[in-house]
A and B are shown apart, each in its own frame.
Chain A
Amino acid sequence: MAAIFSSPTCVEVIEAIQDYLPALYFAFSRGRTELLAEELGREWDFLTSGEKRSVRWMIQEAEENNPGLFGPRRQNLRRLLLQGIGYHHAGLSPLLKDLVEKLYESRLIYVLFCTETFAVGVNFPAASTVFDACRKWDGQEFRPLLNREFFQMAGRAGRRGYDPVGRVFVRIDERFPEQTGFYREDEVEPVRGRLTISPNTVLSLLHWKTDAEIRCLLEKNLSVYQSNKESRQLRQEVHRLEEKAAELARCFCPDRGQPCCELYRVKLRKELNQLKKSKHRNRADSKLRRQEIQILLQKGRKKCRYKVCLDAAKKVRRLEERIHLLHKRLKQLEKHSRDYVRDFENVWGLLEKLGYVQGRELLPRGKFALYVHVQEILVTELVFSGILLESPPVEVAAILAGVDYQPGRDEQVIPPPFSLERVEELRRFLFQSGVPEHFCLWSPLPAALAAAWYEGATFDQLLGMTNLQEGDIFSILRREIDLLRQIERAAGEDRVLAGLARELRRRLDRDEVAVVGV
């Protein structure tokens, strides 16, 4: 219809592809999936009355076990599900995600608006997949989807046994037509090694592995393997090019570089021309040089087939440029493959300075950090500085929730009724001692949520304290439970600390936050 000035909508997309349902409609923000679902829901209803009955029945069944399933925030989803429309993203509570997945598997959802996570792992095939956009936020910037990412999602189209082909639709955005993606499966990106050296890796290596094994990790990891392989190829290429250059140079005669050689004369003529045009042409040294050149040029040219030499010289120059580039890349690679040994020694040095190790021997701090796998330095210091044991348990729950938490834009939680200054102070001290920030990530943001949950608040009360979504709160608390298990293990003989960790975990692992139905 009046497409020219309308903002592009999913309604017209779905109208165009209505013969290819069910569809997975990939969008790259949570808000966008909800917005699109709402938009479609205003105009479309996909279910027959029989199907609606099934949906209602499945919802009822799910709600019987969990009365607050849709909570205050997801009533719109219930309405949409009854029209055969759904949305699915990491902000939903796991139980609700489960329900949406079950409905989808029962073929009661015809259009599911979802984020990338729906395409990882569990296979939910569809008749078609739609891409709302071809760019995603990767934590730092909006960037185009990789071929690999595109096909991971696109590949959900096409159900074995029903669809002759899987249809993939990429929406052209009227406002940003140039951002439309074109993807090829034979251009999928290669896998690169991504090893990084964390304090825990260094401690684990020092404690459990031999020198030979340590060397194996540092010198034979995938990244080094790949750059060594590239270096080898580059060196071969350099060798080949050098041989070629030598071959070409064979046509040069002993007179090369003499005034009678045309190669040299070409060079001289060029220089002469430049000197004539230069703005310094009236300076004494310029005049002198010009005379010199003219004298040289007056000596006659040797009679030879100089064109062969000119040609060869040009080719040699080009080869030399290429060789130069290859050498540059080789140097880069060489530097890179040394990085792991350097990284390892840097972290080792830091751990020595902080009193975690002495040579290869682990000290008490090191032995503790050995069993901690997130922000191991910060967590260990929280224990050894006494902060965890001296603070009331509710504050400990609050502090640990913030470990490794990186708040997103405009996330808000009411502040907790106590001060977290000691943690901030500890972090400042660690920064001063040379601990890099990424080994010390912590945020006060989730503190109040964990404290309230520890003290027995309901999940709806937590939702009232923040604009974070159900799924976020769930994962903050699950991650804390994970961390508490690590601390309990690391505490070893320290009964008091282990007891504290266990008690905290017991109080956090309940109701909506407990994992059920596994």
Chain B
Amino acid sequence: MANKKETGVRGKRRPRRRRSKFVLPAAPLQLDPFQEEAIAALLDGYTVLVAAPTGTGKTLIAEKLLEHILAGGKGAVYTSPIKALSNQKYRDFGQLFGPERVGLITGDLSINERAPLLVMTTEIFRNWCFASPGELEHTSHVIFDEMHYLDDPERGTAWEESIIFAPPHMKILGLSATVPNIQEIASWMAEVRGDVVKVIEERCRAVPLEISWIAPGGDILDEEEARMEIAERQEIRRWRRHYWNDMMAAGREEFDF
């Protein structure tokens, strides 16, 4: 208890143990097998869906593909579901491939629209598919980041219309969080686009998750303990309600006297 209360600069509590200074981990030089597989399929000219948990390195696949496309003198579109993410990607790609090769188009902003690599919102890409497919003539790929947004009740339509109406010469790279029916989506895309679609799934997280529960009071519980704790608390509540009802009833009786 005592060391927990160790006081700091303004008499406030300080963390019990200072962690050692962080060291930046070296970027993994070796690609994971699923990344290798995805990149190989893309370079073979397939439409590819990658479903993997966050933080496993889906972006790396996209970057390798973009490198290849730009080196070949072609263009690509990268779409993301939110503006903040588009801005971030625009900056990242600018650093990676040189700012002159990257453009950004969202509803309220456009920068360097003629660049070979365009970062845009999915809605803008959808509009292009309808209004100006000619502009996409030299664009070989479209990358949909967070493709599970297909399921978004309000915005899913933009993804769907984009997939159906993206010019037929374009290949798609769809990056998605883990979804159980990724294979079904792939068969649908294959049917609607008349194209072969490869699915690459990675189920393992780079760092596994361990879920615990925290009881009022601060005890860390595992699942079984948590379920017991919850059952107990519900019991207490029921009992309390009972107790109160009895008290109230007793009170009323007394009152009736």
Q: Answer whether residue A463 sits at the interface, using C-beta atoms and an 8 A cutoff.
A: no
Bound together, the chains give a CA A45 to CA B13 distance in angstroms of 6
Task: Choose one: A121, A125, A164; the contact of B84 (CB below 8 Å).
Answer: A121
Q: Nearest residue in B to A482 (C-beta to C-beta)?
A: B107
| Given A43-B13, A177-B229, A191-B211 contact (CB < 8 Å) | no
Q: Answer whether residue B55 sits at the interface, using C-beta atoms and an 8 A cutoff.
A: yes
In the complex, per-residue mask of B184-196: 1 if CB is within 8 Å of any chain A CB, else 0: 1100100110000
In the assembled complex, how far is the CB of residue B222 from the closest CB belonging to chain A, in whole angstroms? 11
Of the stretches A196-204, A237-245, A248-256, A313-321, the one at the interface is A196-204
Bound together, the chains give a CA A45 to CA B14 distance in angstroms of 5
- Total A-B contacts with CB atoms under 8 angstroms apart: 260
Q: Which of B79-131 contact A (CB under 8 A)?
A: 80-82, 84-85, 87-88, 90-91, 104, 106-109, 111, 123, 127, 130-131
Measured between beta carbons, the chain B residues less than 8 angstroms from A222 are: 150, 160, 185, 188
Tell me if A188 and B178 are in contact (CB < 8 A).
Answer: yes
Q: Answer whether residue A174 sits at the interface, using C-beta atoms and an 8 A cutoff.
A: yes
Bound together, the chains give a CA A203 to CA B156 distance in angstroms of 19
Measured between beta carbons, the chain A residues less than 8 angstroms from B213 are: 169-172, 180
Bound together, the chains give a CA A479 to CA B109 distance in angstroms of 11
Bound together, the chains give a CA A271 to CA B25 distance in angstroms of 80
Measured between beta carbons, the chain B residues less than 8 angstroms from A389 are: none
Q: Answer whether residue B8 sits at the interface, using C-beta atoms and an 8 A cutoff.
A: yes
Bound together, the chains give a CA A19 to CA B16 distance in angstroms of 8
Bound together, the chains give a CA A186 to CA B18 distance in angstroms of 36
Q: Nearest residue in B to A224 (C-beta to C-beta)?
A: B188
In the assembled complex, how far is the CB of residue B195 from the closest CB belonging to chain A, in whole angstroms? 13
Measured between beta carbons, the chain B residues less than 8 angstroms from A178 are: 230, 234
Task: Choose one: B8, B88, B151; the contact of A192 (CB below 8 Å).
Answer: B151
Tell me if B15 and A18 are in contact (CB < 8 A).
Answer: yes
Q: Answer whether residue B157 sits at the interface, using C-beta atoms and an 8 A cutoff.
A: yes
Of the stretches A5-13, A326-334, A496-504, the one at the interface is A5-13
Measured between beta carbons, the chain B residues less than 8 angstroms from A221 are: 160, 164, 192
Bound together, the chains give a CA A518 to CA B89 distance in angstroms of 10
Bound together, the chains give a CA A128 to CA B172 distance in angstroms of 34
Bound together, the chains give a CA A502 to CA B26 distance in angstroms of 48
In the complex, per-residue mask of A336-377: 1 if CB is within 8 Å of any chain B CB, else 0: 000000000000000000000000000000000011010000
Tell me if B84 and A226 are in contact (CB < 8 A).
Answer: no
Bound together, the chains give a CA A373 to CA B161 distance in angstroms of 14
Q: Answer whether residue B217 sits at the interface, using C-beta atoms and an 8 A cutoff.
A: yes
Q: Nearest residue in B to A213 (C-beta to C-beta)?
A: B165
Q: Answer whether residue A120 sits at the interface, using C-beta atoms and an 8 A cutoff.
A: yes
In the assembled complex, how far is the CB of residue A433 from the closest CB belonging to chain B, in whole angstroms? 25
Measured between beta carbons, the chain A residues less than 8 angstroms from B14 are: 44-46
Tell me if B109 and A194 are in contact (CB < 8 A).
Answer: no
In the assembled complex, how far is the CB of residue B187 from the closest CB belonging to chain A, in whole angstroms? 8
Bound together, the chains give a CA A194 to CA B150 distance in angstroms of 7
Tell me if A121 and B216 are in contact (CB < 8 A).
Answer: no
Tell me if A16 and B218 are in contact (CB < 8 A).
Answer: yes
Tell me if B207 and A158 are in contact (CB < 8 A).
Answer: yes
In the assembled complex, how far is the CB of residue B202 from the closest CB belonging to chain A, in whole angstroms? 13
Measured between beta carbons, the chain B residues less than 8 angstroms from A427 are: none
| Given A13-B214, A165-B210, A172-B230, A160-B188 contact (CB < 8 Å) | no
In the assembled complex, how far is the CB of residue B116 from the closest CB belonging to chain A, in whole angstroms? 19
In the assembled complex, how far is the CB of residue A488 from the closest CB belonging to chain B, in whole angstroms? 12
Q: Nearest residue in A to B151 (C-beta to C-beta)?
A: A191
In the complex, per-residue mask of B154-172: 1 if CB is within 8 Å of any chain A CB, else 0: 0011001100110000000
- B interface, by DSSP: helix, strand, loop or mixed? mixed
Q: Nearest residue in B to A186 (C-beta to C-beta)?
A: B180
Q: Answer whether residue A265 sits at the interface, using C-beta atoms and an 8 A cutoff.
A: no
Q: Answer whether residue B153 sits at the interface, using C-beta atoms and an 8 A cutoff.
A: yes
Q: Nearest residue in A to B163 (C-beta to C-beta)?
A: A222
We find that the number of chain A residues with CB closer than 8 angstroms to chain B is 98
Q: Answer whether residue B30 sits at the interface, using C-beta atoms and an 8 A cutoff.
A: no
| Given A158-B208, A208-B131, A194-B54 contact (CB < 8 Å) | no
Bound together, the chains give a CA A48 to CA B15 distance in angstroms of 11
Tell me if B108 and A193 are in contact (CB < 8 A).
Answer: no
Bound together, the chains give a CA A494 to CA B145 distance in angstroms of 37
Tell me if B85 and A121 are in contact (CB < 8 A).
Answer: yes
In the assembled complex, how far is the CB of residue A206 from the closest CB belonging to chain B, in whole angstroms? 11
Bound together, the chains give a CA A94 to CA B54 distance in angstroms of 24
Q: Answer whether residue B220 sits at the interface, using C-beta atoms and an 8 A cutoff.
A: yes
Tell me if B54 and A193 are in contact (CB < 8 A).
Answer: no
Tell me if A183 and B211 are in contact (CB < 8 A).
Answer: yes
Q: Answer whether residue B146 sits at the interface, using C-beta atoms and an 8 A cutoff.
A: yes
Measured between beta carbons, the chain A residues less than 8 angstroms from B25 are: 160-162
Q: Answer whether residue A448 sits at the interface, using C-beta atoms and an 8 A cutoff.
A: no
Tell me if A3 and B205 are in contact (CB < 8 A).
Answer: no
In the assembled complex, how far is the CB of residue B136 from the closest CB belonging to chain A, in whole angstroms? 14
Bound together, the chains give a CA A21 to CA B145 distance in angstroms of 29
Bound together, the chains give a CA A12 to CA B182 distance in angstroms of 41
Of the stretches A64-72, A148-156, A277-285, A290-298, the one at the interface is A148-156
Tell me if A180 and B156 are in contact (CB < 8 A).
Answer: no
Bound together, the chains give a CA A323 to CA B45 distance in angstroms of 45
Q: Answer whether residue B226 sits at the interface, using C-beta atoms and an 8 A cutoff.
A: yes
Measured between beta carbons, the chain A residues less than 8 angstroms from B9 are: 45, 49, 52
Q: Answer whether residue A212 sits at the interface, using C-beta atoms and an 8 A cutoff.
A: no
Q: Which of B1-24 contact A (CB under 8 A)?
A: 4, 8-10, 12-19, 22
- Top 6 A-B pairs ranked by shortest CB distance? A3-B217, A161-B25, A158-B207, A194-B156, A121-B85, A482-B107
User: A44-B15, A158-B55 are known contacts; what are 7 more A-B pairs with Cβ within 8 Å?
Assistant: A15-B4, A16-B214, A44-B14, A125-B55, A178-B230, A220-B192, A518-B90
The 29 sampled A-B contact pairs (Cβ below 8 Å) are A16-B214, A18-B15, A44-B12, A45-B9, A45-B10, A110-B15, A123-B55, A151-B177, A151-B209, A155-B53, A155-B209, A165-B208, A167-B209, A168-B209, A169-B212, A172-B221, A173-B216, A180-B213, A182-B226, A185-B53, A185-B178, A191-B151, A193-B156, A208-B131, A220-B192, A222-B160, A222-B185, A225-B188, A373-B123
- Residues on B lying within 8 angstroms of A by beta carbon are 4, 8-10, 12-19, 22, 25-26, 28, 53-55, 80-82, 84-85, 87-88, 90-91, 104, 106-109, 111, 123, 127, 130-131, 145-146, 148, 150-153, 156-157, 160-161, 164-165, 176-182, 184-185, 188, 191-192, 205-221, 223, 226-227, 229-230, 233-234, 237
- Residues on A lying within 8 angstroms of B by beta carbon are 1, 3-4, 6, 8, 12-13, 15-19, 21, 42-46, 48-49, 52, 83, 94, 97, 107, 110, 117, 120-123, 125, 130, 148, 151-152, 154-174, 177-178, 180, 182-183, 185-186, 188-196, 198, 201, 204, 208-209, 213, 216-217, 220-222, 225-226, 229, 370-371, 373, 478-479, 481-482, 485-486, 515, 518
